[in-house]
Amino acid sequence: MKTTQVVVIGLGRFGTTVATTLYQMGHDVLAIDKNSNKVQELAGQVTYAVAADATDEDALRELGIEKFEYAVVAIGSNTEASIMVSVLLKSLEITNVVARSVSKLQGQTLDRIKVDKVVYPETDMGTKLAHDLFLPGIEQYMELTSTYGISKIKVPPRLINQSLKNSGFGNLRDRYGVTLIAIQRGEDIIINPDENQNLVSNDTLIIAGPDEKISDVVRPTNISED
Ligand code: ADP
C-alpha cells in the first residue's frame, strides 16, 4: 500500500486510535495535541507527536502542515476549536480534510466550510451496536440504510459441506433473498463465488441484503424449502 502523510489533530480516544492505526498500517503520521501529556503518551506509536495549538496558523506552518495529503480533525467536544482548525486546514489547501463531528449542527457547519468528509463515530457506533444486538450470529455489520446492510457471518453448521446452490445461494434461485458477495476462507477471499463452490467449516460469508433476510441465513425462519 502507498505510504500517505497524514496529520491527526486532537489526541482524545478517537484521535489516538486513528493515529496509531494509520501508523501501524505503514503511513507517516504527525499527531498534534495542545496537551503535552497526550503527546507524550503517544511517543513511539506514531511518526512524530507534537504539542501545539492547532488553531495557531504559524505553529501549523512551522510544522509544514500544508505539505500533508490528509488531515484528520479528531477534536470532538470543543466545537469551536474543531471548526477553527478545519477552516485553517482548508485555507492551507490540504486536499483531504476529514473532520469528526459529535452533533448534527457541528456536522452541518463542517459541511458548509467545505470539509471533504465529516464522520460521526459516536452515532455510527451506536447504530452498529444496535444492529449487532438484534442480528445474533453476525460478526460484523455495515449499515447501508436503516434496514439494509452488509454482514460477515460464520458459516452456519447446517450449510457446511454443501454447495452454494444446495445451500440456497444459487445465482438463479436465491432462497434467502440476499446476495453472497464473497467467502472468506482463512487468508483467501473468494469473490462472487460460483454456485458449485462448496462451503467448508470456518468459512465466513459476506452477504448483502435486508436485515431480516440476513438473519434468516443465520437462523432460518419461514423460508420456503422448495
Ligand atoms: P475523545 O472524545 O475522542 O476522547 P475529545 O474531544 O475529548 O476526544 O478530545 C479532543 C482532544 O483534542 C483533546 O486531547 C484536546 O486536548 C485536543 N484539542 C482540543 N483543542 C485543540 C487545539 N486547538 N489544538 C490541538 N489540540 C486540541
Digit-by-digit pLDDT tens for the chain (226 residues) are 678 999 999 999 999 999 999 999 999 999 999 999 999 999 999 999 999 999 999 999 999 999 999 999 999 889 999 999 999 999 999 999 999 999 999 999 999 999 999 999 998 888 877 777 767 678 888 889 888 999 999 999 999 999 998 888 876 557 888 999 999 999 999 999 998 999 999 999 999 999 888 888 887 654 544 4
Does the C-beta of 13 come closer than 6 Å to ligand 1?
yes
Does the C-beta of 100 come closer than 6 Å to ligand 1?
no
Q: How far is the CA of 52 from the centre of ligand 1 (A)?
A: 11
Residue nearest to atom 26 of ligand 1 (CA): 33
- Of how many residues is the chain composed? 226
Does the C-beta of 16 come closer than 6 Å to ligand 1?
no
Residue 179, CA distances (Å) to 37, 115, 150, 191, 219 in order: 49, 34, 9, 12, 17
Lookup: cell for 10? 486532537
Closest CA to 14 of 127, 122, 128, 118: 122
For Cα atoms 93, 98, 103, give the angle at the middle one, nearest 5 degrees.
125
Closest CA to 9 of 123, 120, 131, 100: 100
Closest CA to 174 of 165, 182, 183: 165
Q: What is the pLDDT of residue 170?
A: 72
Question: How far apart (Å, rounded) are the C-alpha atoms in residues 18 and 37?
Answer: 18
* H or E element, residue 121: helix 121-134
Question: How far apart (Å, rounded) are the C-alpha atoms in residues 199 and 164?
Answer: 7
Crossing angle for the helix pair 79-91 and 104-112, to the nearest 10 degrees = 20
pTM for the whole thing?
0.75
Q: How far is the CA of 74 from the centre of ligand 1 (A)?
A: 7
Q: What is the pLDDT of residue 171?
A: 65
Question: How far apart (Å, rounded) are the C-alpha atoms in residues 174 and 170?
Answer: 5
Which among 20, 78, 119 is the best mutation to test ligand 1's pocket, defined by most ligand atoms within 8 Å of the CB? 78
R_g of the chain computed on alpha carbons: 22
